Protein backbone atom coordinates (compact mmCIF):
# COMPACT_ATOMS: atom_id res chain seq x y z
CA UNK A 1 0.00 0.00 0.00
CA UNK A 2 1.28 3.46 -0.84
CA UNK A 3 1.50 6.40 1.54
CA UNK A 4 -1.74 7.71 0.05
CA UNK A 5 -3.57 4.45 0.73
CA UNK A 6 -3.59 3.03 -2.80
CA UNK A 7 -3.23 -0.74 -3.04
CA UNK A 8 -0.58 -2.04 -5.41
CA UNK A 9 -0.76 -5.47 -7.00
CA UNK A 10 2.82 -6.67 -6.55
CA UNK A 11 2.64 -9.18 -9.39
CA UNK A 12 1.37 -6.51 -11.79
CA UNK A 13 4.14 -4.19 -10.62
CA UNK A 14 6.73 -6.92 -11.18
CA UNK A 15 5.46 -7.67 -14.69
CA UNK A 16 5.26 -3.98 -15.60
CA UNK A 17 8.83 -3.33 -14.44
CA UNK A 18 10.01 -6.42 -16.31
CA UNK A 19 8.23 -5.27 -19.48
CA UNK A 20 9.93 -1.86 -19.22
CA UNK A 21 13.37 -3.48 -19.15
CA UNK A 22 13.77 -4.41 -15.50
CA UNK A 23 14.56 -2.70 -12.24
CA UNK A 24 17.86 -1.16 -13.37
CA UNK A 25 16.38 0.23 -16.57
CA UNK A 26 13.36 1.73 -14.79
CA UNK A 27 15.69 3.33 -12.23
CA UNK A 28 18.09 4.65 -14.86
CA UNK A 29 15.33 6.09 -17.05
CA UNK A 30 13.34 7.30 -13.99
CA UNK A 31 10.16 5.61 -15.18
CA UNK A 32 8.64 4.92 -11.76
CA UNK A 33 6.05 7.69 -11.99
CA UNK A 34 5.07 6.50 -15.49
CA UNK A 35 4.24 3.07 -14.12
CA UNK A 36 1.26 4.61 -12.32
CA UNK A 37 -0.69 4.81 -15.57
CA UNK A 38 0.13 1.22 -16.47
CA UNK A 39 -1.07 0.08 -13.05
CA UNK A 40 -4.19 2.29 -13.08
CA UNK A 41 -3.11 4.14 -9.95
CA UNK A 42 -3.98 7.74 -9.27
CA UNK A 43 -2.05 10.25 -7.17
CA UNK A 44 0.75 7.89 -6.35
CA UNK A 45 4.24 9.28 -6.32
CA UNK A 46 6.83 7.46 -8.40
CA UNK A 47 9.08 7.16 -5.38
CA UNK A 48 6.38 5.03 -3.71
CA UNK A 49 6.59 2.58 -6.61
CA UNK A 50 10.36 2.40 -6.32
CA UNK A 51 10.25 1.79 -2.57
CA UNK A 52 7.48 -0.83 -2.85
CA UNK A 53 9.43 -2.64 -5.56
CA UNK A 54 12.66 -2.55 -3.54
CA UNK A 55 11.05 -3.66 -0.27
CA UNK A 56 8.80 -6.42 -1.54
CA UNK A 57 9.79 -7.62 -4.99
CA UNK A 58 13.52 -7.02 -5.32
CA UNK A 59 14.15 -8.87 -2.05
CA UNK A 60 12.21 -11.90 -3.30
CA UNK A 61 14.01 -11.92 -6.65
CA UNK A 62 17.36 -11.77 -4.82
CA UNK A 63 16.37 -14.63 -2.49
CA UNK A 64 15.17 -16.72 -5.43
CA UNK A 65 18.47 -16.37 -7.28
CA UNK A 66 20.50 -16.97 -4.11
CA UNK A 67 18.58 -20.19 -3.33
CA UNK A 68 18.75 -21.34 -6.93
CA UNK A 69 22.55 -20.89 -6.95
CA UNK A 70 22.84 -22.91 -3.72
CA UNK A 71 20.73 -25.73 -5.15
CA UNK A 72 22.87 -25.86 -8.28
CA UNK A 73 26.05 -25.87 -6.19
CA UNK A 74 24.77 -28.68 -3.95
CA UNK A 75 23.64 -30.66 -6.97
CA UNK A 76 27.06 -30.28 -8.60
CA UNK A 77 28.79 -31.34 -5.36
CA UNK A 78 26.60 -34.43 -5.15
CA UNK A 79 27.32 -35.34 -8.76
CA UNK A 80 31.05 -34.96 -8.11
CA UNK A 81 30.80 -37.19 -5.03
CA UNK A 82 28.91 -39.83 -6.98
CA UNK A 83 31.36 -39.70 -9.86
CA UNK A 84 34.35 -40.17 -7.54
CA UNK A 85 32.88 -42.98 -5.42
CA UNK A 86 33.00 -46.60 -6.57
CA UNK A 87 29.45 -47.91 -6.58
CA UNK A 88 27.68 -51.19 -7.08
CA UNK A 89 24.88 -51.62 -9.58
CA UNK A 90 22.38 -51.84 -6.70
CA UNK A 91 23.51 -48.48 -5.36
CA UNK A 92 23.21 -46.91 -8.82
CA UNK A 93 19.66 -48.28 -9.21
CA UNK A 94 18.71 -47.05 -5.74
CA UNK A 95 19.95 -43.54 -6.55
CA UNK A 96 18.15 -43.63 -9.88
CA UNK A 97 14.87 -44.59 -8.18
CA UNK A 98 15.28 -41.72 -5.70
CA UNK A 99 16.05 -39.37 -8.57
CA UNK A 100 12.92 -40.19 -10.58
CA UNK A 101 10.55 -40.21 -7.61
Task: Determine, yes or no, domain membership for 1.
Answer: no
Whether residue 16 is contained in a domain is answered as yes
Quick one: pLDDT at residue 59? 84
State the pTM of this model: 0.60
Residue 38 in domain? yes
CA 84 to CA 101: how far, in whole Å? 24
The verdict on residue 4 lying in a domain is no
Alpha carbons 13 and 38: distance in angstroms, whole number: 9
Total domains present in the chain: 1
Measure the CA–CA gap between 21 and 32, rounded to whole angstroms.
12
Task: Tell me what pLDDT residue 21 has.
Answer: 93
Residue 86: inside a domain, yes or no?
A: yes
Domain that holds residue 91: 10-100
- Per-residue pLDDT 10s for the chain (101 aa) are 666 677 888 899 999 999 999 999 998 998 888 887 788 776 556 578 888 888 888 888 888 888 888 888 888 888 888 778 787 888 888 888 887 87
Amino acid sequence: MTEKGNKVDLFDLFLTVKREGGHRCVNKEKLWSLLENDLNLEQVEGNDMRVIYAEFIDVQVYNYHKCKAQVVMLHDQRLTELANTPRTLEQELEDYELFIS
